[in-house]
């Protein structure tokens, strides 16, 4: 029997405006290297704040979508929030939800974090078409889920767009949102309230795939808010937060999000980007002698990877852990071209230095991430500042001696290993003879050998090195260069070996 028109209209109104309604599609994406967390969603409800009702976001950790039958009390999202804090794996979170919620089979979840496998759940009571896909394509971890869709293919196409679209996390998620919209998204909006799958995917003709939607992008340095049924669980301070609370006559929220997102990206031109800007040291490690140093170069670029081209930004440099640094941070030099340099001088404690660097060009501080990390090794008599050198790129490899004061030294090198070495009257030189040993013996301070013959200072410190042009070591890629020094101080001695691997 055909439904009378007034009754159909009443059903439509009840479906579109009821807060604890079914349907939605959502996309969650995290990057395990940058710890960026992105979640977006859209649904056919109107005049309703979906961002308050559906997502959970923890900065630097993960996100979840709690959809289908909305938990307006927020109890389930609070459970997810607390579980994120405790680093409970997503699969275990789903078990907790199943054990505590009598309406679990009416829910749909996607849960993703940077530490574990993602998890998804679609209850028997969720409306068709319904589907969820979760997986890894490192460094990306994702979950895409939806219900009351035009077809399962909505999720398939969203995942395909998510994985194939180049760019950063927000670009990938927006492409996935558009792929879902293009197939009709929520079938109640693009097809029929009562028969959402009856038009196919995409429906032959439709103007909207949803009425409301949101996009949240959280990056390291952002701050979490609180989690409750009334305030939601995405009320922190985020890199980007777009929320479209649309009505029935308004444009499709995905199209509105695209417009807002495009305007936001345009506004970020010339603004330092957290993930594409870089801070690089010219060595891979220092030695805890209170003297050895590294030069750090900070290059600021915007979200399209374009160098800022001018100076003026204020840099902040501090321990990422909030405590004292292992190194002494020198004054920052503004090079006037969007790059900045400063020195790090080793202290006398070994460990891994992790520095949080912020750049503020007047638009607010931007935390560069990942953090700059530099190893400070325990004190040894000969230290090499590189563990590995690319043969294709070459390197300036620093060597640091900490031995007898005012002693003459000669640094030798070998491509043939350290054992058994060469017995000497006062010890064993831990280098096997080969042409490189001969070359370093007869041509110190020449060619690639930088200050390999000299004298230590009153504290027994000296700096030497190897200058390796690009391509020179190509024939020995896969090998290793070991070094040791002969020292004539209070008496003749030999240092322990140090060295680096040669990579292609």
Contact 426, 491 (CB under 8 A): yes
Given a cut of 90, is residue 303 above it in pLDDT? yes
Burial 50-77 (b: 16+ CB within 10 A, else e): bbbbbbbbbbbbbbbbbbbbbbeebebb
Domain boundaries, the chain: 21-267, 278-377, 382-503
Please give the average per-residue pLDDT across 272-297, as a whole number: 98
Q: What is the pLDDT of residue 407?
A: 98
Judge whether 428 and 421 are in contact, CB under 8 Å: yes
Mean pLDDT confidence for 29-40: 98
Residue 72 pLDDT grade (very low, low, confident, very high; cuts 50, 70, 90): confident
Average pLDDT over residues 184-193: 93
- Per-residue pLDDT reduced to its tens digit, 483-504: 999 999 989 999 999 999 999 9
pLDDT at residue 15 in the model: 38
Burial 278-296 (b: 16+ CB within 10 A, else e): ebebbbbbbbbbebbbbeb
453 pLDDT tier (thresholds 50, 70, 90)? very high
What was the pLDDT predicted at 18?
A: 38
- Structure confidence at residue 225 (pLDDT): 97
d(CA 320, CA 340): 19
The token pair at 216 is 């949240």
Q: State how far the Cα of 335 lies from the Cα of 347, in Å rounded to an integer.
A: 27
Task: Please give the torsion angle defined by the CA atoms of residues 447, 453, 456 and 461, in that order, rounded to the nearest 10 degrees.
Answer: 40
pLDDT at 9 over 80: no
Residue 12 has pLDDT above 80, yes or no: no
C-alpha 132/C-alpha 110 separation (Å) is 8
pLDDT at 21: 47
User: Per residue in 374-407, pLDDT tens?
Assistant: 999 999 999 999 999 999 999 999 999 999 999 9
Confidence at 71, pLDDT banded by 50, 70, 90: confident
Domain 278-377 identical in fold to domain 382-503: yes
Per-residue confidence at 10, pLDDT binned at 50, 70, 90?
A: very low
Q: By mean pLDDT, which of 139-153, 189-203, 347-361, 403-417 is the weakest? A: 189-203
Fold of 382-503: Immunoglobulin-like (2.60.40)
**Tell me: the pLDDT tens digits for 215-264?**
999 999 999 999 999 999 999 999 999 999 999 999 999 999 999 999 99
Average pLDDT, integer, range 315-340:
97
Instruction: Kindly report, residue by residue over 99-132, the tens digit of the pLDDT.
Output: 999 999 999 999 999 999 999 999 999 999 999 9
Statement: residue 370 has pLDDT above 80: yes
User: In the prediction, which pLDDT does 490 show?
Assistant: 86
- Each residue of 121-170: pLDDT tens digit? 999 999 999 999 999 999 999 999 999 999 999 999 999 999 999 999 99
* CB atoms closer than 10 angstroms to residue 503: 15
- Exposed/middle/buried for 391, CB within 10 Å: 0-12, 13-18, 19+? buried
Determine what percent of the chain is predicted with pLDDT higher than 90: 93
Is residue 23's pLDDT more than 80? no
CATH annotation of 278-377: 2.60.40.10
Rounded CA separation 430/383 (Å): 14
Q: Which CATH class is domain 21-267?
A: alpha beta
Of 325, 307, 308, the closest CA to residue 371 belongs to 325
Mean pLDDT for the chain overall: 94
What value does the mean pLDDT take over residues 418-434?
Answer: 97
Mean pLDDT, residues 59-87 taken together: 96
Percent of the chain surpassing pLDDT 70: 95
Would you say the pTM of this structure is higher than 0.75?
yes
């Amino acid at each position: 029997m055909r439904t009378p028109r007034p009754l159909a209209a009443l059903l439509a109104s009840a479906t579109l405006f009821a807060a604890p309604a079914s349907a939605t599609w959502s996309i969650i994406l995290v990057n395990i290297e940058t710890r960026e967390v992105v979640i977006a969603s859209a649904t056919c409800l109107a005049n309703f704040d979906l961002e308050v009702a559906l997502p959970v976001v923890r900065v630097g950790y993960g996100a979840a979508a709690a959809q289908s039958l909305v938990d307006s009390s927020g109890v389930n999202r609070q459970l997810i929030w607390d579980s994120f804090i405790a680093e409970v794996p997503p699969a275990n979170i789903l078990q907790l939800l199943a054990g505590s919620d009598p309406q679990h089979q009416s829910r749909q979840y996607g849960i993703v974090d940077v530490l574990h496998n993602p998890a998804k759940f679609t209850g028997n009571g969720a409306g068709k078409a319904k589907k969820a896909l979760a997986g890894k394509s490192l460094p990306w971890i994702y979950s895409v889920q939806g219900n009351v869709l035009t077809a399962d293919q909505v999720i398939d196409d969203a995942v395909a767009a998510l994985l194939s679209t180049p760019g950063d996390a927000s670009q990938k998620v927006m492409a996935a949102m558009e792929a879902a919209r293009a197939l009709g998204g929520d079938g109640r909006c693009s097809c029929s309230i009562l028969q959402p799958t009856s038009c196919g995917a995409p429906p032959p003709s439709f103007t909207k795939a949803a009425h409301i939607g949101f996009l949240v992008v959280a990056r390291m340095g952002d701050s979490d808010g609180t989690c409750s049924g009334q305030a939601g669980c995405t009320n922190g301070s985020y890199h980007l937060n777009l929320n479209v609370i649309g009505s029935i006559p308004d444009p499709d929220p995905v199209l509105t999000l695209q417009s807002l997102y495009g305007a936001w990206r345009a506004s970020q031109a010339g603004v330092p980007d957290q993930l594409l800007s870089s801070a690089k040291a010219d060595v891979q490690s220092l030695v805890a002698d209170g003297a050895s140093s590294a030069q750090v170069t900070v290059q600021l670029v915007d979200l399209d990877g374009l160098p800022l081209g001018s100076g003026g930004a204020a840099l902040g440099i501090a321990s990422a852990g909030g405590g004292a640094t292992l190194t002494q941070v020198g004054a920052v030099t503004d090079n006037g071209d969007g790059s900045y340099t400063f020195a790090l001088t080793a202290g006398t404690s070994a460990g891994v230095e992790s520095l949080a660097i912020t750049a503020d060009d007047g638009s607010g501080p931007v935390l560069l991430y990942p953090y700059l990390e530099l190893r400070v090794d325990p004190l040894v008599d000969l230290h090499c500042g590189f563990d590995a050198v690319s043969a294709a790129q070459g390197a300036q490899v620093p060597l640091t001696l900490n031995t007898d004061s005012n002693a003459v030294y000669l640094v030798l090198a070998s491509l043939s290993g350290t054992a058994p070495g060469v017995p000497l009257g006062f010890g064993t030189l831990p280098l096997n003879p080969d042409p490189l040993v001969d070359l370093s013996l007869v041509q110190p301070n020449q060619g690639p050998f930088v200050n390999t013959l000299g004298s230590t200072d009153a504290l027994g410190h000296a700096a030497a090195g190897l200058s390796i042009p690009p391509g020179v070591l190509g024939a020995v890629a896969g090998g290793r260069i070991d070094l040791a020094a002969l020292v004539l101080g209070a008496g003749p001695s030999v240092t322990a070996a140090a060295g680096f691997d040669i990579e292609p």
